[in-house]
Structure 1
Amino acid sequence: MSTNKEKFNFSSILLYLIGFLLIWEWLRPMGELTDTENIEVFLIFLVIAFAAALFQLPMVVQAFIKTFYIFYAVYRFYFEGGFLRPEWLGLFFSDVKYNLGLLLGRDFQQFTNVFRTVLFFLLLWLMVYLIQYWLLNRRKIFVFFLMTIIYISVLDTFTTFKGNGSIIRTVVLGFTVMGILTYLRLVAEGKLRGDGTLAGKWMLPLAGMVIFSAAVGLAAPKAAPIWPDPVPFLKSFNENSGSGGTGGIARIGYGTNDSRLGGPFLPDDTVVFRADSESRQYWRVETKDVYTGKGWILSDQVKGGEGFSQDDPFPLGGFPPNVKTEEQAAKVYIEFKYPHIVYPQGTKKVAARYGVSFLYNPVSEKIRPMEPWNEPAELDDYGFIYDVPAYKMDDLKWADGTDLAEMPEDFFERFTQLPPSLPDRVRDLAAEITKDKLNWYEKAKAVESYFASSEFTYDQKNVAVPDKNQDYVDQFLFDTKTGYCDNFSTSMVTMLRSIGIPARWVKGYTYGEAKSFGDGDSKKRLYEVTNNDAHSWVEVYLPNLGWLPFEPTKGFSNSIQIDIDRDTDSSGKTPAATPDKKDSNPQDRLNRLEENDPIPQQLKANKSPLEKARIFMKNEWKWLAACLAIIVAVGWFIYSKRGRWLPYYLIYRYKFSKNDDQFGKAYLTLLEQLKRFGLKRDEGQTLRNYAGYIDRFFATKEMGKLTARYEQFLYRKELPEGTWLETKQLWENLIKKTIS
């Protein structure tokens, strides 16, 4: 009990409090820079973890309390029903199993919020353990203190987070805890007496020094920065350096987190897929419906989704009967495996290898392939049957919002949603642009055409990030007028919604670059789509016509077809196109597409081992470098701790040997281990003299006895039978004394 009382004192409480405050500094920016909410829940977990360690509860009890809290927090965040009811646990463990599959597949971006929350709790658990180990066992905290300073400094420099207060608090806490730990180390080493008088004499000057330093730092005049902006300075050294989005310049390509848009991109010509199709079209991945003022999120998080098989109709409804369509086929060949598929608008049927089904998210319209055992599937290729629409101009002009009664209220509210903080001048601009237009289509075209003016510039690098209180669209429309597809498309959706026209934001890819053409009369072409072709655009809802794509991004063109000269029937409605009889079966078109595949043979041929290795290195070099770094770090750690584990290995190595010949080898091994321990034998020193030195150092006579036997073996070349068994215990005792 005395030991516990010694540990549970004022110094321990103070150290744990400072450790808690330092970790808190890591959490503060998360509420501002990420989607993480309810930070107080994680702070309560930290309080529980530190309190359990402070009161020295048994490890089993600590683990139970923390685990129970994690389960309860996850339940309150994401599940419904009674906490003690087993139904939600089944959903929870299914979610964990699904995410473990993503983890093994290194698809970290697709982790669900439930799994991310659990991982974050585990990270905090680990940080509390490390703080406890550094503070109470090692009496050192400088590394964590330095990491905290660097973390805050980087966020303050490259993001919208203002870290002035955090830097001051961290410096004060860091110097305070390092002063306390220095005092405790000196007391433990016997260099200082640990009485209360000396503690007061030590702590009062320490507190005064920290307070005085902080006050001088705040009051002293600040020199002007050497670099007006660190980003251009870094970019002058390396094109890949800089700031983008929420903290670093990104490489262009499809991503999942659109909650904070902005910042520059670097080009990336990595091939994502190749498409064999009869016409050019955009390749959809998902839509998002809630604009936050900083980016896009989903209005609802769907657990799992709705499943459908290859024999079922595509879950996204086709075009209305009054829209003329032409049925076409396409096939996609995957180079970069994402957990979702890409598909053209108007898809009616999708076909993949046998046994694969699909999971459809009705909110985002993202579709994932699934194996029969309900695990994500990796596809090499898949095909589509889809309709290509051709709209009549009269239908477009009559499709407006004059009769909203037929449109569900929740649908209209969902796709005209805007944040209350949207500046009024955005609404005023949209109203001004469309004031002379008579219908929704003309208004949408007016907004689309507005971005084609010379005022706007398409640029992927010199793109600003909105400040904390600045709206993303407002900044683009009135301040910078420079950006890429996300800026243009988000601005158009926002402007249309502000005047009451339902619109949504769509992500995917453009059609890419045509690489080969079909022979003769064939219309099929092979398109190569790279990360550079990742794109976002706008879809506007027109009654009786459905969702129409619009392309506001400067330099991109809309592929919508408008049939001006088409006849109408007596009712004034446009008749639906009648498909060719030979194309009446969608599966037949997929089969013919497979038979007449125009992909060049060199794309189909098996790549050489050298080429495969080159592609693997190109795609996976980051993971290889990370694995190599981990291996080196683990190897260095094991080597640095050899004083702890090597003696046990040596004992195990000779433990089961009964042959007397092992005595000579074991003795030489002992000499090497003593040398590693620091008891080096001097040059010219006799074994007997060295043995006396070892016995005096360890206060034993074991080394002398072993050396006498070894000299007998050395000069007589023989040992009495059973020598090793008699001396093994002496040898093991000396080996154990070298454990450090």
Structure 2
Amino acid sequence: MMQKKTLNTSIRCLLYFFGMLLVWEWVRPVGQLTNTGNLSVFLVFVIFSLLLHYLQLNWLGRFAFLSGYTILSLQYLYYDVSLFNVIWIWDMIEEFKNNLRSIFAGEWLNLSNPFRSLLFFILIWLVTYLIHYWITVKKKIFLFFLSTVTYLSFLDTFTIYDADQAIIRTIIIGFIFLGLLAFFRLLDREGLEISAVNLGNWVLPLGLMLVLSTLFGFAAPKLDPQWPDPVPFFKTQSGKEGSGGNGKNGINQMGYSENDDRLGGSIEGNDTVIFSHNAKDNPYWKVENKDIYTGKGWKDTAYFEMSEFTDNQDISAQMLPKDTSNIKLDEYSVDITVKKTYNHVVLPEPSYLKKIDTKDESSFRFDELTEKLHSWSADGVDKVKLNQYTLDYLVPSYDLDSLKKVTDEQLYEEVPMWSEYTQLPEIPERVRELAYEITAEKTNWYDKVKAIENYFDRPEFVYDKTDIPYPEGSQDYVDQFLFETQRGYCDNFSSAMIVLLRVNGIPSRWAKGYTTGVTSTYKGNQVKKVTNNNAHSWVEVYFPGTGWISFEPTKGFSNSASFYDSSVDSTSTSQNDMPDQNADELKKPDAAEGKTPAKNLDEPASSGSSSTDSNWSWITFTIVGIGLGLIGFYVYKSRRKWLPWIYIRRYKQMKNHAVFSKAYLTLLTQLQRAGIKRPEGQTLREYAVSVDSRYGVNEAHMQKLTKEYERIIYRGDTEKESLKKNFELWEKLIKKTTT
């Protein structure tokens, strides 16, 4: 006979195992629906948590072990320094303090990824405790099983997650779970010692029922849908009807990401602050370049070369082109305060870096291909994350006369890595035909570049962040945008311009980073806050003899590159203000309508770039409205403290008994606000005694005022001298209600 204790242990082990499988069905979709990676870390946490419950370790031991695992996991996932370098501990503490402030301030979108992961760990911790509670105490799991099926069904209906297999797994796991729990309850309630034969008699029919019902479910004929699809109705009602693609398009969140393999999809805002700065020249902020277009997105060339320099080292000679005769340089300095720490340094664009001052011993490694700049410790052993630093940089103005002399006849050897920057996959022929058509009448590179840039000003191209599809199957991302949707955000515009340039043999690359940010006041000084909403992508074109120059095809944006024409005038002007005789006759939409070009538009985090919503007036109006509402609410709630002073001015001169009666009734109302309630049925004299007792008034102010009020009510007269004395008593008493 199998002993009850042994059987109990075996069944509990199985129950915890199936509980872990159900929890995992909750966690699995997170990896597909969000940017969350490394789900194995969370799976191990689930296993450890349930294992510790199964081993019946005391709560203190469980707390210490799981807390340690959580902290080490966060260090592994987010803090790119050695475990034994304690700086990550202080960074984590400071980051969590900032996130707690954001929570108490209601700024939920400002929570950092490490803190979100911590909250996810806590959520899993609570769920595993509930599994333990339902198994060992309640011995009921049906509610959790039903919730899991409902959760998966909801995701399958309203998101891109395909839950068909997950629901089948959950049904099988759930029925086994319910059957074992029923057996467990029977064993516990009856106090029986059950043999292995009896256990088999319970388990075998359960397993057979599951197998047969599963086979029947697969083999049985399926009816067509009997009800209309509810998804379009709900999306229409909520105003969030998705883009084309039969529900396969996810909603991305704005922000910077390193992965740009698959561009497309709609995006939603994220106002998490990344950094703030006080730059005077309103630059873009570049993080990196990418050079290989795949037809679906962007990748880096495998080959790269690093250059290294140290804190406060002047590297302008390395950064500037060999010949600077075609450019004018102005020097600027900017202070940057990082809110969301990365180990890369953002660089103002267009510019040439001169030096970085971190007020500390630091070193830097500059990837000469991607132009991504990483910060390292002074000894070059560990990557570090900078909180504050100062950049000195040189801003160029380009000579138009020199740029217009660049033609296809120039030697290709003058362009570094020509093949990489003119690379294209196999693209549809109509894209090539369009590229040649746009530039057919242009004879030099600059005019060709401007013609392609201005092509996107046509009215058929629309800037939009919603209803943006992913390319399907073998469909090319740029071809889809140019000829089918003609709507999108900066990833669409910038990628399309580069493809059209490369068809014409003009070397170009995809740049990504942030726009200049939104101006705000901090400690009396004006700074610009750069958020995830400012993430952006644009185009850089290589001109022999000058170097890389940025261009901006996205509608509503204004590039900060400046030009001058040495053959006409040496005055430097903005790129978009330069006269261009060969440009398309269409003007920028914003300029044509007399509007200031938007500086913040949004792009998807999954594509690695985004931009902010331009409707700042609506946001400002909302914020001001909420602020005024909160102020009004505070003023109303604090009226007990300020209303008496208005009443005192109003009743300063009590000239007759009618005024005194009004003042007395006002005092009663104010006493109610002060928390001295008058019980139902209590006389005014009894109430006056309780008021004097509350305020410790030995002279019985309230009792005297009440006596005078009753005399006026019943006799209808009073003396002027008594009115003056009564007002003094009334004033003293009503002032006490403000404390």
Question: How would you bin the TM-score normalised by the shorter chain?
Answer: 0.5 to 0.7
- Flag the 1:52–1:101 CA change in 2: closer, same or farther, 3 A: same
- What's the offset of the Cα at 1:542? 2.9
Aligned mate of 2:351, from 343, 346, 350: 346
Is 1:491 matched up with 2:496? yes
1:395 and 2:403 are equivalent in the alignment: yes
Q: Which of 314, 317, 320 matches 2:319?
A: 317
TM-aligned CA deviation for residue 247 of structure 1? 5.1
Q: Residue in 2 aligned with 1:178?
A: 178
The answer as to 2:303 corresponding to 1:327 is no
Contact map agreement 1:459 1:482 (CA 8 A) in 2: yes
Between 466-475 and 164-173, the greater mean CA deviation after superposition: 466-475
**Candidates 223, 232, 236, aligned match of 2:235:** 232
Q: In structure 2, what is the Cα distance between the partners aligned to 1:318 and 1:295?
A: 30
Superposed CA offset, 1:570-610 (max 9, x none): xxxx9x9xxxxxxxxxxxxxxxxxxxxxxxxxxxxxxxxxx
State the AA in 2 paired with 1:165. Answer: Q
Matching of residue 223 in structure 1 with residue 232 in structure 2 = no
1:365 to 372, 380, 383: 372
- In structure 2, runs of 5+ residues without a counterpart are 103-109, 573-622, 631-739
Residues 541, 547 of structure 1: 8 Å contact kept? yes
Q: Which residue of 1 aligns with 2:691?
A: none
Aligned to 1:737: none
1:563 match: secondary structure: strand
Using the alignment, how far apart are the partners of 2:520 and 2:78 within structure 1? 47
Tell me how far 1:213 sits from its aligned partner. Answer: 6.2
SS of the equivalent of 1:229 reads helix
Amino acid at match of 1:180: L
1:460 matched to 2:445: no
CA spacing shift, 1:170–1:375, aligned 2, 3 Å: same
Q: 1:510 to 1:293 in 2, by over 3 A?
A: farther
SS of aligned partner of 1:452: coil
**1:286–1:506 contact (8 Å) kept in structure 2:** yes
Residues 433 and 5 (structure 1), Cα distance of their counterparts in 2 relative to 1, 3 Å cut: farther
Counterpart in 2 of 1:556?
557
Please give the secondary structure, in 2, of the residue aligned with 1:536: strand
Q: Counterpart in 2 of 1:679?
A: none
Q: Distance in 2 between matches of 1:512 and 1:463?
A: 26
Compute the displacement of 1:188 (Å): 1.4
Question: What CA distance in whole angstroms lies between the structure 1 residues aligned with 2:53 and 2:249?
Answer: 37
Maintained 8 Å contact 1:285/1:507 = yes
Counterpart of 2:509, as a letter, is A
Q: Is the 8 A contact 1:399 1:440 kept in 2?
A: yes
Shift of 1:486: 2.6
Q: Which residue of 1 aligns with 2:511?
A: 505
Matches within 5 A, 1:414-453: 415=421, 424=428, 428=432, 432-433=436-437, 436=440, 441-453=446-458
Structure 2 match to 1:167: 167
Please tell me the root mean square deviation across aligned C-alpha atoms, in Å. Answer: 6.3
Contact 1:288–1:506 (Cα < 8 Å) also in 2: yes
2-structure distance, mates of 1:528, 1:31: 30
Taking structure 1 as reference, are residues 547 and 145 closer, same or farther at Cα in structure 2, changes over 3 Å only? farther
Question: In the alignment, what sits opposite 2:567?
Answer: 566
Offset of 1:182 from its aligned partner?
A: 2.5
Is contact 2:365-2:373 (8 Å) kept?
yes
**Whole-angstrom distance in 1 between the partners of 2:193 and 2:487:** 67
Tell me: CA distance 1:333–1:405, structure 2 relative to 1, closer, same or farther (3 Å): closer
Alignment check: 8 A CA contact 1:325 1:389 kept: yes
For the structure 1 residues 38 and 179, does the alpha-carbon distance in structure 2 shift closer, same or farther, using more than 3 Å as the test? same
Identity of aligned residues (%): 30
- Closer/same/farther in 2, CA of residues 49 and 404 from structure 1, 3 Å limit: farther
Question: Take 2:89 and 2:302, find their aligned partners in 1: how far apart are those partners?
Answer: 20
CA distance in 1, matches of 2:22, 2:135: 12
Quick one: which amino acid aligns to residue 313 of structure 1? Answer: I
Deviation at 1:485, TM superposition (A): 1.7
Aligned runs of 1:137-286 on 2, under 5 Å?
139-142=139-142, 144-146=144-146, 148-149=148-149, 152-153=152-153, 155-190=155-190, 194=194, 199=199, 202-203=202-203, 206-207=206-207, 210=210, 215-216=216-217, 219-221=221-223, 222-229=225-232, 232-233=235-236, 235-236=238-239, 248=251, 250=253, 254-256=255-257, 259=260, 261-265=263-267, 273=276, 275=278, 277=280, 279=281, 281-286=282-287
Counterpart AA for 2:230: W
Deviations 1:680-700 (A, max 9, x none): xxxxxxxxxxxxxxxxxxxxx
Quote the Cα distance in structure 1 between the aligned partners of 2:173 and 2:324: 70
* Alpha-carbon distance in 2 for matches of 1:385, 1:263: 36
In the TM superposition, residue 6 of structure 1 has moved relative to its aligned partner by: 2.8
Q: Output aligned runs, 1:398-417, within 5 Å.
A: 398=406, 403-405=411-413, 409=417, 412-413=419-420, 415=421
Letter in 1 for 2:400: K
User: What is the CA–CA distance in structure 1 between the aligned matches of 2:153 and 2:371, rounded to whole Å?
Assistant: 36
Name the counterpart of 2:680: none
Which amino acid is 1:491 matched to? A
In the aligned structure 1, how far is the partner of 2:300 from the partner of 2:267? 24
Which moved further from structure 2: 447-456 or 201-210? Answer: 201-210
Unaligned stretches of 5+ in structure 1? 80-86, 516-524, 569-573, 577-613, 622-740
Distance 2:195 2:258 in 1: 56
Q: Deviations over 1:536-564 (max 9, x none)?
A: 21112333322111111123344444434
* Secondary structure class of the residue paired with 1:389: strand
Instruction: Mark the CA change 1:321 to 1:455 in structure 2 (over 3 Å): closer, same or farther.
Output: same
- Paired residue type of 1:390: Y
Q: 1:89 to 1:307 in 2, by over 3 A?
A: farther
SS at match of 2:235: helix
TM-score normalized by structure 1?
0.54
1:22·1:170 contact (CA, 8 Å) conserved in 2? yes
- Kept after mapping to 2: 8 A contact 1:159/1:247: yes
What SS is found at the alignment partner of 1:506? strand
C-alpha spacing 1:328/1:143, structure 2 compared with 1 (3 Å): farther
Q: TM-score if structure 2 supplies the norm length?
A: 0.54
Shift of 1:503: 0.8
The answer on whether the counterparts of 1:245 and 1:264 sit within 8 Å (CA) in structure 2 is: no
User: Which residue does 1:482 correspond to in 2?
Assistant: 487
Task: Give the aligned residue type for 2:465.
Answer: Q
C-alpha distance in structure 1 between counterparts of 2:392 and 2:239, whole Å: 46
CA distance change for structure 1 residues 554 and 405 in 2, over 3 Å: closer, same or farther? same
- Matched length: 541
Q: CA 1:529 to 1:185, structure 2 compared with 1: closer, same or farther past 3 Å? A: closer
One-letter identity of the residue aligned with 1:365: K
Q: Would you say the 8 A contact 2:331–2:394 is kept in 1? A: yes
Residues of 1 paired with 2:111 and 2:470: CA distance? 22
Deviates more, 1:176-185 or 1:467-476: 467-476
> Are the structure 2 counterparts of residues 26 and 270 from structure 1 closer, same or farther at C-alpha, using a change threshold of 3 Å?
closer
Q: 1:43 to 1:529 in 2, by over 3 A?
A: closer
What do the CA deviations read for 1:324-374 (whole angstroms, capped 9, x no partner)?
Answer: 214143656869776655624214446768558675653453577999999
Please tell me whether the aligned partners of residues 265 and 460 of structure 1 are also in contact (alpha carbons under 8 angstroms).
Answer: yes
Q: Which amino acid aligns with 1:318?
A: L
CA-CA distance at 1:504 after TM superposition: 2.0
Residue identity opposite 1:187 in structure 2: L
